Amino acid sequence: MSRIISSAAIRGAHRLVRKAEEKWRQAMDAKGPSEPVEFPNTGYYLPVIYGLTGRKVQRLSDLEPVLGLCRELLPEEPKEHLWTPYLGTALDAGVATLFAEETIEAMRYVMGPNPVEGIWLGAADDVILRERGIEFVDGRAPGFAAVVGAAPDAATAVRMAKEMQQKNLYIFMAGQTRGMQFAQQLAEAGEDLGWNTRLVPYGMEIEAQIYSLGFATRAALSFGGVAPGDYQGVLRYNKNRIFAFVIALGEVTDEWYATAAGAISYGFPTIADTPIPQILPTGVCTYEHVVSDVPHDKIVAKAVEVRGLKVAAPKLKLPVAFGPAFEGEIIRRADTFVQIGGNESPAFELVRMRELSEVEDGKIEIIGPDLDGAAAGKLPLATIVDVAGRKMNEDFEPVLERRLHDFINYLEGVTHNAQRDILRIRVNHKARAAGLSLRHFGEMIYAEMKSEYQSVVDKVQITFLTEEAAVLARREEARRAYAARDARIASLTDDTVEEFYTCTLCQSFAPNHVCIVAPERIGLCGSVNWFDAKAANQLKPGGANVPVYRGEVIDALRGEYAGINEMVKTNSHGTLEALNLYSMMENPMTSCGCFEVILAVVPEGNGVLAVNREHTGMTPTGMKFSTMAGMVGGGMQTPGFMGVGKHYLTSKKFIQADGGLLRIIWMPKQLKELLREGLERRAAELGVPDFLDRIADEDVGATAEEILPFLEEKGHPALTMDPIM
Ligand code: SF4
Ligand code: ZN
């Protein structure tokens, strides 16, 4: 880092710390020291401050020592010719800047104007952190670009954004150049902004970039298992695991330099499009921290190179961009050129296993009109994917079929919802104008199937039918196949299969966690069922899913088996001795952090509550989901609490040792509705067909006292069961 940059960073840091002090003082005068301070729906307080110092800022008065720390960190303000700053002082100034910026943003939540306004999203809550952060862990997103300022024009902004999306990066935007921000340029050009498209506009001012670092800090705490206050751990996790960089567009102000110095501590370099005076570094640099004067068509490539990100080159040539970054697009009715399925035309998709001799590898056939021949914006469609391979197995059909959803969604300008014969595909006008055809769907499916499933798929052939009569005729065949598969799954019970499967995918961030996936107990993330685990084991033996055999029965009701105990002990590296599959009260399954639902005992009601991740309100344990998540996660056994997949609630084996489904006394309405069909079926089997109406929800109350009279009035079965504790 050059001396000029260091001096500028220190000046900027002083200005931002002064601003933070002023804003805090104003808030103190207006609201008093005990006024609550928080970012919405997070268990991480003000995350940068919490992560780096361990301080839980909850009220205005808690910020006083933080601002004091800023002052301590700040080196003397540089004076011309007298001061020779070096990297260390500039980095301290950078960290002071981050605390100051987080304070300034927090004061916006306290005093207004609220950071969430117009296109600006403000701080991401913990639901988003979970959903999106996991992509940083499993590699779906290699990292993020923090874009500061604005491109020279909207077209350049769009080109740059596409290039970054194509590399699956998230793009976090804040900080303006002369009244304009990159995100505004994208919005102006008609781009969809939001977490789903990975184009995340945080705010107009440079301070709002703190949300990028807040996100990175929370990733280290939640996925990296770093303890709050272990600042070296937080910074190391980010330097090694999160590929992020700052792109500075337009004139770089002192405040930007100060923020860049903060980002450097996280290992995130800055790449600028303007010339920055180059004076030889006086500090020790392991790689280039600041790269300047890079032309716009090279800047993304340069950033990727400087940060050392390895991005696989796209293997396909298609008229639109593609990749997981486009999965979350939303295509509104008005932007739709053609809709396939979704009650407007018959549509289905089917993956069929065939003999090797029956499949012509790489053949893509379209029978009937292509997308541009759609009448009145509708098109019937049958997508039939025939696969063959020496190691292919019928059980893989649904696993491969479910991936069609991802592959088609990868195309920019195309969305795919649901599956089987209830799917809906939309193609927007832009994609159509670019020349997108069903052939490209086929090429995408072919390339992905061959690369992702090369161990079992030797040949793939794809047929699209778009004549309504033909689609209807073939749909019968597809429905027979779906029904046969469903019957197979329904007939499977824990007692009729030989083996269960482990899942240790989440050990990347919860090192001792292991899920046991059984036919009647889906993985707690809700996305790995027994078939998936079995297929994954065959697709990649020795991977995260390996078979477990029960061995000697220790207790059938609790679901305790010698073989499982042994496996769990090994996989948890000796931290667990025993595991009961069907109890949450005694040696329950551990939770990594991905659970869809948390179960928790409510002793006053002799029952259990189930709360889903989306429910942000209070629950009768006196804790919100996010608080309980902090207690339950991390791969420990927490008797009385357990994270589960939501469909486990409808299983016959649902906490059978603790009284089963009838123990549930409270759940949010949203969860009730989501699972209604399955819950009603189970309740009828248990002889209480109106059971759902006897479960309290947030309308009845959010404390044990509030719901007890309701449970009594309804004669809730849990009240007369054996004591749960
Ligand atoms: Fe596997 Fe469990 Fe993680 Fe889901 S939550 S990915 S089942 S370890
Ligand atoms: Zn997990």
Query: What DSSP assignment string belongs to 490-510?
Result: HH--TTT-SEEEEE-GGGGTS
What is residue 280's predicted lDDT score, i.e. its pLDDT? 37
Token digits of residue 432: 């159509």
Q: Are 556 and 420 in contact (CB under 8 A)?
A: no
Q: Which of the four pLDDT bands, split at 50, 70 and 90, describes residue 193?
A: very high
Q: Kindly state the average pLDDT of the residues 716-724.
A: 96
Q: Which residues hold their Cβ within 5 A of ligand 2, which is an ion?
A: 506, 592, 594
What is residue 403's predicted lDDT score, i.e. its pLDDT? 87
DSSP 14-25: HHHHHHHHHHHH
Query: How far is 620 from 601, CA to CA, in rounded Å?
Result: 9
More confident residue, 7 or 682: 682
Query: How far is 352 from 452, CA to CA, in rounded Å?
Result: 17
Q: Kindly state the average pLDDT of the residues 687-695.
A: 97
Q: Kindly state the average pLDDT of the residues 156-164.
A: 94
Closest-approaching ligand to the CA atom of 526? 1
What is residue 293's predicted lDDT score, i.e. its pLDDT? 81
Percent of the residues in the chain that have a pLDDT greater than 90, as a whole number: 63
Handedness of CA 585, 589, 595, 596 (dihedral sign): negative
Assess whether pLDDT exceeds 90 at residue 24: yes
What is residue 426's predicted lDDT score, i.e. its pLDDT? 96
**Lowest-pLDDT range of 62-66, 67-71, 144-148, 392-396:** 392-396
Query: How far is 137 from 141, CA to CA, in rounded Å?
Result: 8
For 227-273, the pLDDT digits (tens) are 999 999 999 999 888 889 999 999 999 999 999 999 998 989 889 88
Neighbours of 424 (CB within 10 A): 16
Assess whether pLDDT exceeds 80 at residue 276: no
Q: Are 588 and 580 in contact (CB under 8 A)?
A: yes
Closest-approaching ligand to the CA atom of 514? 1
* CA 281 – ligand 2 centroid, Å: 43
Instruction: Provide CB contacts within 8 A for 68, sequence distance 6+.
Output: none
Closest CA to 266 of 178, 180, 184, 172: 172
Closest-approaching ligand to the CA atom of 592? 2
Instruction: Provide CB contacts within 8 A for 104, sequence distance 6+.
Output: 16, 19, 20, 23, 207
Query: How far is 258 from 9, CA to CA, in rounded Å?
Result: 4
Residue type, 395: D
Q: Which of the four pLDDT bands, split at 50, 70 and 90, describes residue 311?
A: low
More confident residue, 642 or 539: 642
Token digits of residue 226: 């770093």
Query: How far is 410 from 324, CA to CA, in rounded Å?
Result: 5
Assess whether pLDDT exceeds 80 at residue 208: yes
Query: How far is 329 from 412, CA to CA, in rounded Å?
Result: 8
Average pLDDT, the chain: 90
Mutate to test the pocket of ligand 1, among 137, 222, 505 (most ligand atoms within 8 A of CB): 505
Residue 592 Cβ < 6 Å to ligand 1: yes
What are the b/e assignments for 394-423, b being 16+ CB within 10 Å?
eebbbbbbebbbebbbbbbbbbbeeebbeb
More confident residue, 702 or 276: 702
Token digits of residue 369: 């009109």
What is residue 83's predicted lDDT score, i.e. its pLDDT? 46
* CA 513 – ligand 1 centroid, Å: 9
Q: Which of the four pLDDT bands, split at 50, 70 and 90, describes residue 277?
A: low
Q: Which of the four pLDDT bands, split at 50, 70 and 90, describes residue 453?
A: confident
What is residue 611's predicted lDDT score, i.e. its pLDDT? 97
Instruction: Provide CB contacts within 8 A for 448, sequence distance 6+.
Output: 403, 406, 407, 410
pTM greater than 0.85 (yes/no): no
Q: Is the peptide bond before 36 cis (omega within 30 degrees of 0)?
A: no
Q: Kindly state the average pLDDT of the residues 350-378.
A: 92
Q: Please state the atom number of ligand 1 nearest to the C-alpha of residue 595.
A: 5
Q: Which of the four pLDDT bands, split at 50, 70 and 90, describes residue 352?
A: very high
Closest CA to 218 of 151, 134, 129, 284: 129
Percent of the residues in the chain that have a pLDDT greater than 70, as a whole number: 96
